Amino acid sequence: MNIVIVGHVDHGKSTVIGRLLADTDSLPQGKLEQVREMCRRNSKPFEYAFLLDALKDERSQGITIDAARCFFKTAKRDYLIIDAPGHIEFLKNMITGASRAEAALLVIDANEGVRENSRRHGYMLKMLGIKQVAVLVNKMDLADYSEEVFKSIEAEYRGFLEEIGIRAKSFIPVSAMQGDNIAAQSSDMTWYKGRTVLEELDAFDEKESEADSLPFRMPVQDVYRFTGSGDDRRIIAGTVESGRLKIGDECVFYPSGKHTHVATFEHFGAGETPTEIKTDMAAGFTMTEQIYIRRGEICCLSGEKTPKVGTSFVASLFWLGISPMVKEKNYLLKIGAAKVPCQLKEIISTLDASTLDRGKKDKIDRHDVAECIIECSKPIAFDLTSEMPKTSRFVLVDEYEISGGGIITAEVEKTGISDVARDLAMRRNEKWETSSIPSELRAKRFGQRPGIVIITGHRYIGKKAMAKELERELWDAGRQVYFLGIGNLLYGVAGEIKVEGEIPDRYEHIRRLGEVANIMMDSGMLLLVTCAEFTANDMEVLEATVDTEHIHTVWLGDKVTTDVVPDLAISDASDRDATAVRIKSFMAERGLIFI
């Protein structure tokens, strides 16, 4: 079992660890004597912390600079104890250490009482999701083993923990230096009838067993296909966060909403191939219907509670970055295996984690905790921390560094222009009848991959004539290609919203174009579409309905006059033959047509 020890600097964490190691007979032979001898020679009083320093080869500044590891064991089980530093600058090391732990010991000095980091660390344990906490009131020998001192610290700190939603398993009065209530009952504190530290450790629960009974969640880490090595399996790989999945189960992927069934679980090496996967397993499975899925989606089990999908959410987050988190700056958000650009949209409140004082600032400083709204540039699938904590957790990357972490507490009402399109597309995918002919087979027969080429640019530059010529040339070269005139759409599929002479609902038209295009992509076609002055917003709506990798934009004309970033810009499109050659080679480069 992994245990983290946290607490304010100099409250005696290292001494507690040293004492635990010594009293459980976990030290290398002669080490204790060696350190005692060293102290004697240097005329220093012996401290267990020196022992720890000697073990960890720590020589710097006398403070632990990282979450180092020590092993010890009791009759019941093995422990890995992670020493998290108390120095304020090293909060990120404390988080690193604590996130690996299943339970925590929080140390408070009986004489100094509850301090800034006693509270901050308590709050971080809550954010990190560590529920099993025992509080050690240390250095009781220096407080005359006073029950009164102990009771007053217990009352104060218990109140704090309850405010943030942690119920401490116990408060234990100890002297790590003297060995009181660590491995053996103290004879100086007969008023204390509770467990010793070792007994308390053994009483902790091994693992959160509830994860298996929660809905199935597996972030897709990758989709493997090693055809180069003669292996035709397409394997969805990932580590299960919660729940169970069996062969034959229908799984749904979010945010796309695509679905398929589990054909086989895959396995290499000793042991049996599993017939079911569950929490914490690094797994892989093949599908019965071949669908196109990428890293970043979350695999769920059909019929169970679905995750939320959206671009915005409310979160509690802690910031570790040296530069503060500010609005209108791009960050990367990593949740599960997804990684999307995001921005800080609104700070609802900031919280001083050491006092619980709420404030309102326009930035989130280092070591602040804040409630805020984050907006991503692409939709993500997530859960709420109150329902499924593991899949509600994300980190934020500033420049190249992980600079913050957060938990999602609520959804935000969807108002974006592409939100409706995306929700509809997701529902459509959930019901989509997957073709019995895999897309690879179509691609092989047609010598092409499906794609929609948007030919855009200034009005009157000859986009339609260009598209028709391109269609003819591709057709003559044996391609399955279709030029979709926008009129074909306006009066039919969008007939009931069409108003003569104008397009009042441009985005709804693009959504419908996207839905038609989506069907044609599934049939393996190359689709040519013209559109005057295509914008980034148009693109967003289209991307909400058609897989992004199918969309390719070509701008004709000397200057790109909208905010779209075209994949290909042809400034001089006057020579139609030359332009057709350029677009065709662009399509070959992008793997749309095979030569």
Phi and psi at residue 437, to the nearest 5°: -100, 110
Measure the CA–CA gap between 396 and 377, rounded to whole angstroms. Answer: 14
Query: Shortest Cβ distance from residue 451 to other proteins (Å)?
Result: 24
Q: Which is nearer to other proteins, 332 or 373 (CB)?
A: 332
Query: Shortest Cβ distance from residue 401 to other proteins (Å)?
Result: 6
Q: Which is nearer to other proteins, 393 or 584 (CB)?
A: 393
Query: Shortest Cβ distance from residue 237 to other proteins (Å)?
Result: 6
Q: Which is nearer to other proteins, 263 or 281 (CB)?
A: 281
Measure the CA–CA gap between 21 and 530, rounded to whole angstroms. Answer: 73
Rounded to the nearest 10°, the torsion over CA 559, 565, 567, 573 is -20
Listed in sequence order, the residues at least 6 apart from 330 whose beta carbon sits closer than 8 Å to its beta carbon are 341, 342, 343
Query: Shortest Cβ distance from residue 232 to other proteins (Å)?
Result: 12
Tokens of 149: 């001192």
Query: Shortest Cβ distance from residue 572 to other proteins (Å)?
Result: 34
Query: Shortest Cβ distance from residue 19 to other proteins (Å)?
Result: 16
- DSSP-derived secondary structure letter, 283: E
Q: Which is nearer to other proteins, 152 or 221 (CB)?
A: 221
Three-state SS for 109? strand
Please, are residues 587 and 473 in contact by the beta-carbon 8 Å criterion? no
Q: Which is nearer to other proteins, 89 or 144 (CB)?
A: 89
Q: Which is nearer to other proteins, 380 or 542 (CB)?
A: 380
Cβ count near 404 (within 10 Å) = 25
Residue with tokens 């200034």: 458
Query: Shortest Cβ distance from residue 342 to other proteins (Å)?
Result: 14
Please, are residues 376 and 369 in contact by the beta-carbon 8 Å criterion? no
Query: Shortest Cβ distance from residue 393 to other proteins (Å)?
Result: 5
Listed in sequence order, the residues at least 6 apart from 37 whose beta carbon sits closer than 8 Å to its beta carbon are none
Please, are residues 529 and 538 in contact by the beta-carbon 8 Å criterion? no
Query: Shortest Cβ distance from residue 245 to other proteins (Å)?
Result: 15
| Alpha-helical regions (H) of 100-211 | 116-128, 147-164, 197-203
Task: Report how far apart, in Å, the C-alpha atoms of 380 and of each of 102, 168, 253, 373, 540 are.
Answer: 28, 35, 11, 14, 15
Query: Shortest Cβ distance from residue 396 to other proteins (Å)?
Result: 10
Q: Which is nearer to other proteins, 123 or 192 (CB)?
A: 123
Q: Which is nearer to other proteins, 140 or 277 (CB)?
A: 277
Listed in sequence order, the residues at least 6 apart from 445 whose beta carbon sits closer than 8 Å to its beta carbon are none
Please, are residues 505 and 497 in contact by the beta-carbon 8 Å criterion? yes
Sign of CA dihedral 568, 572, 576, 578: negative
Q: Which is nearer to other proteins, 241 or 522 (CB)?
A: 241
Q: Which is nearer to other proteins, 346 or 401 (CB)?
A: 401
Query: Shortest Cβ distance from residue 488 to other proteins (Å)?
Result: 41
Please, are residues 580 and 473 in contact by the beta-carbon 8 Å criterion? yes
Query: Shortest Cβ distance from residue 224 to other proteins (Å)?
Result: 6
Cβ count near 163 (within 10 Å) = 12
Q: Which chain residues interact with other proteins by CB under 8 A?
A: 26, 28-29, 55-60, 65-66, 68-71, 73, 77-78, 92-93, 95-96, 98-99, 128, 221-222, 224, 226, 229, 231, 233, 235, 237-239, 266-270, 280-282, 284, 295, 320, 332, 334, 337, 393-395, 397, 399-402, 405
| Alpha-helical regions (H) of 183-240 | 197-203
Q: Which is nearer to other proteins, 236 or 510 (CB)?
A: 236
- DSSP-derived secondary structure letter, 21: H
Q: Which is nearer to other proteins, 70 or 454 (CB)?
A: 70
Measure the CA–CA gap between 250 and 260, rounded to whole angstroms. Answer: 6
The vertex-137 CA angle with 128 and 154, nearest 5°, equals 80
Tokens of 374: 């984050």
